[in-house]
Structure 1
Amino acid sequence: MRLPSTAHTSRPWRIHEITGDFHLEDVWALPTPGGPDDLPHLVRQIADEGGGETTISSPVYRGLFAIRRKLGRLLGWDKSAAGIGARVPSLRDRLPADLREGPQGPDSRSLPFTSVYQLHDEWAAEAANRTVHAVMHIGWVPDEAGGHRGQMAVLVKPNGLFGVLYMAAIKPFRYLGVYPALFRAMGRKWQADAAARRTG
């Protein structure tokens, strides 16, 4: 479920300290109910499988990503020279000392994101290409049922006018084809893993 921006901006996340020049693009409630200490399980799921991405059967989702990968290769959008530490410095360079010295968290094996930091209730990872510098922020928040769940915020800094136009062009595809399929798969994977943890 998409949430208002205040669901992210009103919380005292540490990410606010280093993303003042980024735009908050999206905030979503994730279908990942759990207890107060379950964020590490969600971080591991996202880092290992993109949240459940490998189980997505949606032809629209797969088709959109196939087109994006081909365009990226053809136009050079995703070359290493456009990434973190090349076109843009890592957000780790902005971290206050306590975050820099704390756990960094895992890099994603299935998504082009590098971890910035991980705390008890939040994890931030970043990616960059020719279009944007983006941050995926995963928070762990109380839910309406007395438990907790994940919350994802996407923050972006477009690369000039081209980046702004690119983000506007892909917005309907993200909302109609990408996020719904991704979150369904994420929820299925989360439930399966939670059941395994209970019986394991």
Structure 2
Amino acid sequence: MKLPNSAHTRRPWRIHEVADGFQVEDVWALPTPGGPDDFPRLVSTMVSDSDSSFPDGANVVVRFLWRVREKLGALLGWDNKNAGVGSRVISLRDNLPSDLQEAPRGPDFTDVPLTSIYLLPDEWASEMANRTVHSVMHVAWVQDESGAYRGQMTVLIKPNGLLGAAYMAAIKPFRSLIVLPALMRTIKRDWSAHAEAR
């Protein structure tokens, strides 16, 4: 379920100190109900299932859009290695406050170009960059008004000039209406499968 930006901005997350100059693109309540100590399981599930579940396990429309984006990125050089974190932009990890530098870095995805920045007991941040944008995926564990716990995912972005702003505007309807709802369904399925396995 999509949430207002305030669901992220009103909470005292450490990412606010780290991602200065980034804007909130969107916030989603993850379909991952659990207890107060289930955040490590959410992180593990997202990393371990990322390779096989999404986008390959999504519907044909999502897979088509994903392949089109990959082809365009290759054709236009958006995703070249010299456009990523450590090349076009420095890693947010390089400028962490000292206490976060000492915190666990967190796991990296294997087939998704996201690199972990830090991992805390209730929040995890990872980043990626290309020629269009530098973005952060912030995943947190929150307690809602009813006292139940669930995950929350926020995407923060810093577009790369006019190209980045135009790119983000062009993909917004596809992200909001097709890709991210499909990702939420995948996360729900993977979360339920891990819960059953336990």
State the shift of 1:187 in Å.
0.1
Of 173-182 and 50-59, deviating more is 50-59
- 1:96-175 matches, cutoff 5 A: 96-175=97-176
Amino acid at match of 2:115: T
* Secondary structure of 1:134's aligned partner: strand
Could you say what secondary structure the match of 2:63 adopts? Answer: helix
**Corresponding residue for 2:46?**
46
Cα offsets for 1:107-127 (capped at 9, x unmatched): 112321000000000000000
Go from structure 1 to structure 2 and tell me whether the alpha carbon gap of 1:24 and 1:4 turns closer, same or farther (over 3 Å shift): same
In 1, Cα distance between the equivalents of 2:25 and 2:163? 16
Give the counterpart letter for 2:35 in structure 1: G
- Report the TM-score, using the length of structure 2 for normalisation: 0.96
Alpha-carbon distance, 1:55 to partner: 6.1
- TM-score, with length taken from structure 1: 0.95
The residue that corresponds to 1:9 in the other structure is 9
Residues 194/145 of structure 1: CA separation in 2 closer, same or farther (3 Å cut): farther
- Cα distance change, pair 24–173 in 1 and its aligned pair in 2 (3 A): same
In percent, how many aligned pairs have the same letter?
A: 60
Distance verdict in 2 for CA 1:145–1:196, change over 3 Å:
farther
* 1:80-106 superposed Cα distances (whole Å, 9 cap, x missing partner): 100000000000012011111110000
Q: Which runs of 5+ in 2 are unaligned?
A: none
Q: Distance in 2 between matches of 1:27 and 1:130?
A: 23
What secondary structure does 1:106 align onto?
Answer: coil
For the residues of structure 2 that align with 1:6 and 1:162, how far apart are their CA atoms? Answer: 27
Relative to structure 1, the CA distance from residue 122 to residue 55 in structure 2 (aligned partners, 3 Å threshold; closer, same or farther) is same
**1:89 aligned to 2:90?**
yes
> Could you report, residue by residue, the CA deviation over 1:135-157 in whole angstroms, capped at 9, with x for unpaired residues?
00001001344321000000000
- Displacement of 1:57 in angstroms is 3.3
Letter in 2 for 1:9: T
User: How far apart, in 2, do the equivalents of 1:195 and 1:3 lie?
Assistant: 28
Runs of 4+ in 1 over 3 A off after TM superposition: none
Q: 1:136 & 1:39 partners in 2: Cα distance?
A: 15
User: Counterpart in 1 of 2:25?
Assistant: 25
CA RMSD, aligned part only? 1.3
Q: How many residues align?
A: 197
Counterpart residue identity of residue 178, structure 1: V
